[in-house]
Structure 1
Amino acid sequence: NGLREPIQHFRTIFICGDFNIDLLNPNKLKQIDEFINTAYSLSLYPTITKPTRVTSHCATLIDNILTNNIENNIISGLLVNDITDHLPIFIIYDDNYRNNNPGNSIRYRRIRTVNTTNAFKNKLIRQTWE
């Protein structure tokens, strides 16, 4: 619900991270279908299409950047390295304009405290992992 307002006001949105949802095999689990359907219902589309985690026995696409920007002014991809088992993802966005009214923008910031970290851990513990 928190995303509907910025989307309705035609704001460009990028959501990135390790979703732990393999988009290379979308038909394996109901949760994957629900994730994809929810993203599409919010007009959010994945920008990464190649595997982001490759091992000797499998390749998965679990890290991604979702956006509602479907124009050709973005470049996204993977940085190939051997530092971690996940390949870093990136996106470059050319907004082509200057915002002359900086008071018009909305900024979201994650506040990390001991309390918020513990609350997050408690939610994870209470989650049903099937």
Structure 2
Amino acid sequence: MSMKKWVVAGSVLTAVAGGAYVASNPKAREKVVHSVDTTKHWVQVISNNRDDVVEQLSSSAEKVQAIVEAATKDFEQISESSQNMKGHLFDLLETVQDAFDEVKVVKNKLETRANERELLEETKEEQ
């Protein structure tokens, strides 16, 4: 049996089982009737006030669109700022590396001078 047939057969079986459950259970029947009544009521309210509902939905959609546009702009600004911060970070790392290299040079010079002094003092002592 193909997958499509299994799905159709399963759906039919589920509908039959659900119908049998609702038909045999008084509380389930009551809930279904209540849900249908509530749905009918809201369909009636929406039908009677179609213009107001459409206007309200349109207004809500415009508000949502405005919020999404503002959030998109904020995200673009955050993205741009993070790119700028990334550039600053690379500049900072380069500057720190340059300073570290300069400290190494100074350290080597100081060590060389100290070694030269030690050699001079040793040669003076030997004389």
Regarding TM over 0.5, the answer is no
Query: Which has the bigger relative contact order, CA under 8 A and spacing at least 6?
Result: 1
More strand by share: 1
More helix by share: 2
Structure 2 length-normalised TM: 0.21
**Bigger Cα Rg:** 2
Structure 1 length-normalised TM: 0.21
